[in-house]
Chains A and B, each alone.
Chain A
């Protein structure tokens, strides 16, 4: 199975900060990686597909990049509504796998 390692596991930025979350795959997965945002008590929401494709309606301050084994999710200018947990997930092969999550908490 392809293992996804997210870092950091948590961070406490301030509103307006630039935030970068990394997802590393145990083997190359091309760009078949998605990013999700999960608010407490809610289901995850798809933010980015194919490593860098912003889903409709997702604010442009979110961006994704990477290919192969290293990927990043960047939030440029953190807003109060962005405090949540973020997960990466790969579609390269079964079993599908998620990263361990990155919790973005209010400082």
Chain B
């Protein structure tokens, strides 16, 4: 059974750095084609993609937030860590981690990605002094 669980502080102050951990089981981030990604959702608003790390330690970030984000993995612990610097009240919301498994397609000569198939329950972060 694949599960992901986010953990981190519920409250952070403005200008502080947020560190969130995604602990997962039922799959490995050493598996070729595997992605783990972070998505957030401000209260009452739409989903926003933040960052992604792949099995080969490649990292991708939201264009608008890339100067503030860093993602890393610890494959021995089955964890992915997201840090976001210079937190602001507009960063308040629920932060989710999710996985995206890739399928290798011979005719494409690479991995095909179809969907974020398993999500954590999310962790709520409030930015306030």
Contact = CB atoms under 8 A, between A and B. Distances in A.
A48 B47 CA distance: 17
Interface in B1-55: 37, 39, 46-49, 52
B96 A43 contact: yes
A50 B114 contact: yes
Contacts of B60: 94-96
Interface residues of B, number: 24
A101 B44 CA distance: 11
B25 to A, nearest CB: 16
A32 B112 CA distance: 9
A75 B61 CA distance: 33
B117 interface: yes
Interface in B72-129: 96, 98, 100, 112-117, 119-122
A53 B114 contact: yes
A101 B47 contact: yes
7 contacts: A44-B116, A48-B115, A89-B116, A91-B115, A95-B60, A98-B39, A100-B46
6 pairs of A and B residues whose beta carbons are closest in the complex? A49-B114, A43-B119, A49-B115, A34-B115, A96-B49, A46-B115
Given A49-B117, A101-B46, 14 more contacts: A32-B114, A43-B120, A43-B122, A44-B119, A46-B117, A53-B114, A87-B46, A89-B115, A91-B114, A91-B115, A95-B62, A95-B63, A99-B46, A100-B46
